[in-house]
Amino acid sequence: MTDAMFRVLVVEDDAHIRAVLRTLLESAGYRVELAENAARGLIEARSHRPDAVLVDLGLPDRDGQQLIRDIRQFSPVPILVLSARSAEQQKIAALDGGADDYVTKPFEAGELLARLRAALRRSVRKADQSEVLKLGRLTVDLARREAMHGSEPVHFTPLEFRLLEVLARNLGLVVTQEQVIREVWGPERLDDTRRLRSYIKMLRQKIEAEPARPRVLLTEVGVGYRLVMPA
């Protein structure tokens, strides 16, 4: 896939920086969408389904970290933070909240483009590895966010689908409860294992032939969960 086929959403309140980023990205061959605040950024992320998102943390209507968590409710799109906040704890909070990388302002154009290319490569590899899951009679297309049980469509809520995506990216591997909660709900909910168990139960109702005797979404007692392809 060439850069010209990638769409990048820039969420930045500073008009001058928006213009600079648009020129930089378009000169590198990307298609660019712009948003000046978090509310508009969320709308653009839902409607245009970009291949990557650049987010400033200091947005006028909402902190950029909240926007990242909102996007993570429905999309695994690579998210790169662009921020003047350089403290280590702020970087950790953004990454734990769902960002894939963090670039501090002022940034070098070459470094930013390199980090964007790296994030897109990782995203493409993940899509190639686990784009379509076949779980018995259930087929889940992660890229299209669609599922079919035989010829009948299966509806997942955004959170259910996000949970399935997290497990699918680690197909066959144990994913800890903390990792699942961090990626699906954010780091502020790490103690909410009851909510996680509830969503695991709902997900099993949709993907298991016998939810009470799971063969696809397995519990690793005291650790977390594992998604496996049935024999």
DSSP-derived secondary structure for 204-224:
HHHH-SSTTS-SSEEEETTTE
Using alpha carbons only, what angle is made at residue 126 by residues 44 and 83, rounded to the nearest 5 degrees? 45
Query: Is cis: bond before 158, omega within 30 of 0?
Result: no
Among 126, 150, 169, residue at a domain's last position: 126
Instruction: Verify that 103 and 153 share a domain, yes or no.
Output: no
Among 66, 99, 126, residue at a domain's last position: 126
* pTM score: 0.57
Instruction: Verify that 12 and 89 share a domain, yes or no.
Output: yes
Instruction: Verify that 28 and 71 share a domain, yes or no.
Output: yes
pLDDT at 197: 95
CATH number of the domain bearing residue 167 = 1.10.10.10
Structural tokens at position 120: 């897109």
Coil, helix or strand at residue 93: helix
Among 126, 153, 169, residue at a domain's last position: 126
Instruction: Verify that 102 and 168 share a domain, yes or no.
Output: no
pLDDT tens track of the chain, all 231 residues?
444 568 999 999 999 999 999 999 999 999 999 999 999 999 999 888 889 999 999 999 999 999 998 998 888 889 999 988 766 777 778 887 888 888 888 889 999 999 999 888 877 655 555 567 787 778 888 777 788 888 888 888 888 888 988 888 777 778 888 888 888 887 777 888 999 999 999 999 998 889 999 998 999 888 889 888 766
Instruction: Verify that 140 and 154 share a domain, yes or no.
Output: yes
pLDDT at 213: 93
pLDDT at 2: 45
Structural tokens at position 84: 């003047």
Instruction: Verify that 108 and 145 share a domain, yes or no.
Output: no
The total of structural domains in the chain comes to 2
Instruction: Verify that 143 and 117 share a domain, yes or no.
Output: no
- Domain range spanning residue 16? 3-126
Do residues 54 and 21 make contact, with C-beta atoms less than 8 angstroms apart?
A: yes
Instruction: Verify that 137 and 151 share a domain, yes or no.
Output: yes
